């Protein structure tokens, strides 16, 4: 029912149509990457006409196969297929490639272009996203049944993807998890921007992936053989025990008489004369850009509609199965423990465990699961033997963890939670940035949030990391002052349709009478008022209790500001008629928008007990006094 008749001559014409679009759209834009899309046209043709289960008319059909172009610079290849198979992407959209407000940006963007699953371009990210999607597919299939979930994840990656370190991390975990529904096609074209890959790369990719535990299928010089490509994809699809890597030797820029295998073909190399030469080889009119033969258009539209009926009859929204969460019990528990000391990482773990049994959550840490409050009690590890387990051990793989979380979230139906020490957020920053760019609903548990870490010293003591995270547009950063504000942080994160970074303490912090779960969700609120304050103290995290201690003996107002992002979007109360001082154990850069003077740390830390390091580096009552008087 879902097969279409195959006419070899028509298929050749169809593949060459893709190649023409791959040249014409970047040429009109005078920008873009042509050669890779040209070389991969046969693979894309086979995927979209013989392999992928999708409905161009219903791109949101949940049980569709997922297609990820990790080599996102070849975006015109994906756009060509989306248009040709009948999606909402028009020929005018193709002609507006890389233009302002077009649906065809330079690299694929999820949520912007119908049919695009993830945002790719930074190499290796899409590869790791695919691992996350494969985890999601298997998790949901095991939990909800194959009548609702039964699909595969396909990704195209290139030399750049597999050179980046994130691919090593993600590939290793994918094999350990035995993700049999994950199929990656490696475009082995031997070309990088600098020149041949041999300039910097001598890896034996097949052996590398075999060593991980992948099923490697090397079809060599079969990049133009549609039947061999189909055979390899189907063989990979039959392996339920291991992820598959299909290696295809392609020739960038093919079938150009002059630019095939040329490094320049990676970018914008095909202009008027070069395009005319290629079109002449393929028998296409050189004076008619964006020419699509009628029979090719009909053929692809038929391919894109093969699963329309199934898509309509099996529409299902996994959000209905996501579950509910309730933190009222935890809230009341901490409200009854005023004066007790609890590390916010511990309180965060309590919140996570309170919701995990009722909410579709996958949680874990980068070899720091217990340390980061991401350990789930009474839950078996997620594995091939227990595919719907909620505890995912990411191993020492921060960068892959971040990108895999993005894949889990963008697949839909699951909220991923991942933890590591705040200082190591640097290792996963590219993935965090993409989470913000795509508004993926992920929750980061970043613990050991200050020099209060202590004896581990400056390598493990974050200084600039909180501010670096605040600098990312679209990322909500929350540093709670105590256990109650931690509950508020979790409520905010769970209600937020985007990424949230929880910044949590290693050391125990007093649960304060003045903090308030409801008000903390506004991002800032006054927790100590004074009739005639001499100054306003604005603090986050562990420094809030220090400011209250100062306020016990001095006429000051104290504001807790757990989140800049939430504060600036709410009615921010700041009385600038009196001096204001920010107090945070990190760099002071950026605080000038809220305060006149600053208590912070603008140097790296040191190895010593946490309290001593804090005091020595100026997080103290005296430092607050000095800032006010100066």
Annotated catalytic residues are 398
Here the tokens at position 423 are: 């200082």
Residue with tokens 């329309």: 308
Is the separation of the CB atoms in 106 and 98 below 8 Å?
yes
Residue 359: strand, helix, or coil: strand
Is the separation of the CB atoms in 151 and 65 below 8 Å?
yes
- Cβ neighbourhood burial of 30 (10 Å; 0-12, 13-18, 19+): exposed
Give Cα separations from 495 to 521, 563, 574 (angstroms). 11, 15, 26
Q: How far apart are CA 339 and CA 541, in angstroms?
A: 16
- Whether the link from the prior residue into 255 is cis, omega within 30° of 0, is yes
Q: How far apart are CA 257 and CA 38, in angstroms?
A: 13
Here the tokens at position 113 are: 């272009």
Compute the CA torsion angle 343, 345, 347, 352 (nearest 10 deg): -170
Distance of CA 12 to the CA centre of its chain: 37
Q: How far apart are CA 440 and CA 249, in angstroms?
A: 34
Q: Are strands 182-188 and 153-158 parallel, antiparallel or unpaired?
A: parallel
CB atoms within 10 A of CB 532: 7
Distance of CA 263 to the CA centre of its chain: 30
Residue 197: DSSP 8-state: G
Query: In sequence order, what are the residues at sequence separation of 6 or more whose Cβ sits closer than 8 angstroms to the Cβ of residue 279?
Result: 20, 23, 285, 286
Nearest to 86 by CA among 40, 123, 49, 133: 49
Q: How far apart are CA 614 and CA 323, in angstroms?
A: 42
Angle subtended by helix axes 75-84 and 8-29, to nearest 10: 130
Query: In sequence order, what are the residues at sequence separation of 6 or more whose Cβ sits closer than 8 angstroms to the Cβ of residue 616?
Result: 606, 608
For the chain, the distance separating the N- and C-terminal CA atoms, rounded to the nearest angstrom, is: 79
- Cβ neighbourhood burial of 381 (10 Å; 0-12, 13-18, 19+): middle
């Amino acid at each position: 029912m879902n097969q279409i008749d195959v006419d070899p001559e028509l298929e050749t014409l169809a593949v060459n149509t893709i190649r023409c679009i791959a040249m014409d759209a970047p040429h009109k834009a005078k920008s873009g990457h042509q050669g890779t899309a040209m070389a991969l046209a046969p693979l894309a043709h086979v995927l979209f006409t013989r392999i992928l289960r999708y409905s161009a008319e219903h791109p949101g059909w949940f049980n569709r196969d997922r297609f990820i172009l990790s080599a996102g610079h070849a975006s015109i290849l994906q756009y060509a297929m989306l248009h040709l198979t009948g999606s909402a992407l028009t020929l005018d959209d193709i002609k507006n490639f890389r233009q302002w407000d077009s649906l065809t940006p330079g690299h694929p963007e999820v949520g912007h272009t119908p049919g695009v699953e993830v945002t790719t371009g930074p190499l290796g990210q899409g590869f790791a996203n695919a691992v996350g999607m494969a985890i999601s597919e298997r998790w949901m299939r095991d939990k909800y049944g194959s009548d609702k979930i039964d699909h595969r994840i396909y990704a195209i990656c290139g030399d750049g993807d597999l050179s980046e370190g994130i691919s090593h991390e993600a590939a290793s975990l994918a094999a350990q998890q035995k993700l049999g529904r994950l199929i990656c096609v490696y475009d082995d074209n031997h070309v990088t921007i600098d020149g041949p890959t041999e300039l910097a790369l001598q890896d034996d990719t097949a052996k590398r992936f075999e060593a991980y535990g992948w099923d490697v299928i090397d079809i060599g010089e079969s990049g133009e053989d549609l039947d061999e490509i189909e055979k390899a994809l189907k063989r990979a699809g039959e392996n339920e025990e291991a992820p598959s890597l299909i290696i295809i030797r392609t020739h960038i820029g093919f079938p150009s008489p002059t630019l095939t295998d040329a490094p320049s073909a990676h970018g914008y190399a095909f202009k008027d004369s070069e395009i005319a030469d290629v079109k002449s080889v393929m028998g296409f009119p050189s004076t008619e850009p964006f020419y699509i033969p009628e029979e090719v258009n009909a053929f692809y539209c038929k391919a894109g509609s093969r699963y329309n009926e199934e898509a309509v009859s099996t529409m299902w929204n996994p959000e209905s199965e996501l579950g509910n969460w309730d933190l009222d019990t935890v809230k009341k528990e901490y409200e009854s423990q005023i004066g007790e000391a609890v590390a916010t990482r511990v309180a965060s773990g309590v919140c996570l465990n309170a919701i995990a049994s009722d909410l579709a959550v996958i949680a874990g840490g980068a070899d720091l699961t217990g340390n980061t409050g991401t350990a789930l009690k009474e839950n078996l590890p997620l594995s091939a033997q227990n595919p719907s387990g909620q505890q995912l051990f990411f191993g020492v793989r921060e960068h892959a963890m971040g990108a895999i979380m993005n894949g889990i979230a963008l697949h839909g139906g699951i909220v991923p939670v991942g933890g590591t020490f705040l200082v190591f957020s640097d290792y996963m920053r590219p993935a965090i940035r993409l989470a913000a760019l795509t508004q993926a609903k992920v929750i980061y548990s970043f613990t050991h949030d200050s020099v209060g870490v202590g004896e581990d010293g400056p390598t493990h003591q974050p200084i600039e990391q909180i501010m670096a995270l605040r600098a990312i547009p679209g990322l909500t950063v929350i540093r709670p002052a105590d256990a109650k504000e931690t509950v508020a942080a979790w409520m905010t994160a769970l209600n937020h349709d985007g990424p949230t970074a929880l910044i949590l303490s290693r050391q125990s912090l007093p649960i304060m009478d003045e903090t308030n779960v409801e008000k903390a969700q506004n991002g800032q609120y006054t927790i100590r008022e004074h009739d005639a304050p001499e100054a306003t103290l604005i603090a986050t995290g562990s420094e809030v209790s220090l400011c209250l201690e100062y306020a016990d003996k001095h006429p000051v107002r104290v504001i807790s500001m757990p989140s800049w992002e939430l504060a600036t979007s709410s009615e921010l109360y700041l009385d600038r008629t009196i001096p204001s001082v920010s107090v945070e154990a990190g760099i002071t850069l950026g605080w000038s928008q809220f305060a006149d003077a600053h208590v912070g740390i603008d140097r790296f830390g040191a190895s010593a007990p946490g309290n001593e390091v804090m005091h020595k580096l100026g997080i103290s009552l005296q430092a607050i006094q000095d800032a006010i008087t100066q």
